[in-house]
Amino acid sequence: MDTEIDVADFDWLTLDTDEEVRWADTPHPYSLVPVLVIGIPLSLFVVGIPLLVAGYLSFKNTNYVVTSDALYKKTGVLSRNVQRIEFDKVQDTSYSQTFLGAQFGYGSVNISTAGGSGIEMSFDSVADPQTLQSLVNERIKQRSGRATESDGKAAVLDDILAELRAIRAAVEGGTESRVSTSGDDTAETVGAQSDGTTRQTDEADFDFDTSVTDDR
């Protein structure tokens, strides 16, 4: 269902970096049939005219967008209401069709989120709702797969860091042991000179001339 869509057509839509539009649409035109069936007869009594106008304006000002990262729904006639749900938060999807919807090929796709209460977003009266649900489910799986891969890479990096810390600790521990042993061996042979420097003490320093000459 990926189509070439000009984002400039949706001045209300703000996308994140690298986020791409995958699908966009408005309610199916045949979804106006119930409004026309009820509104036209009532228009003879003036009551139906506001009903027809409200139905048409609602139809023209409702947009649905599916991007690579999230779902968007824009509604409102006098005001504007934009709802966004990321695929990472979607818990469940479903679609439904009324009798007229099944006859004319439109229906509603319902979105539920984790921790939410019931349906959080509904794409009402969209064409071919089953195909749209499949697209949404596919995007959810792709996002979930990338998240799992990212978690796996993070776990591998953590293991590598743990190994490096263990190697460092072992190397530092071995170095301290050698320094301690070396210090004990040289303590007896290193002395301080008068100028503050140290020198190696040799056994020859303790050889004395034991011969005595008696001139008497």
pLDDT tens per residue across span 73-123: 999 988 899 999 999 999 999 999 999 999 999 999 999 998 777 899 999
Question: What is the CATH architecture assignment of 5-148?
Answer: Roll (2.30)
Neighbouring CB atoms inside 10 A of 202's CB total: 9
In the chain, % of residues over pLDDT 70:
69
100-132: string of b/e by CB count within 10 Å (b at 16+)?
ebeebebbbbbbbbeeeeeebbbbbbbbbbeeb
> Is 80 exceeded by the pLDDT of residue 169?
no
Q: What is the DSSP letter of 69?
A: S
Q: How many CB atoms lie within 10 A of CB 50?
A: 12
Helix (H, G, I), strand (E, B) or coil at 119: strand
What lies within 8 Å, CB to CB, of 15 at 6+ separation is: 7, 21, 67
Q: How many CB atoms within 10 Å of residue 216?
A: 2
Does the pLDDT at position 212 exceed 90?
no
**Strand partners of residue 67:** 21
pLDDT band at 192, cuts 50/70/90? very low
Q: Where are the domains of the chain?
A: 5-148
pTM above 0.95, yes or no: no
pLDDT digits (tens, 9 = 90+) for 12-57: 998 888 899 999 999 999 999 989 999 888 888 888 889 899 999 9
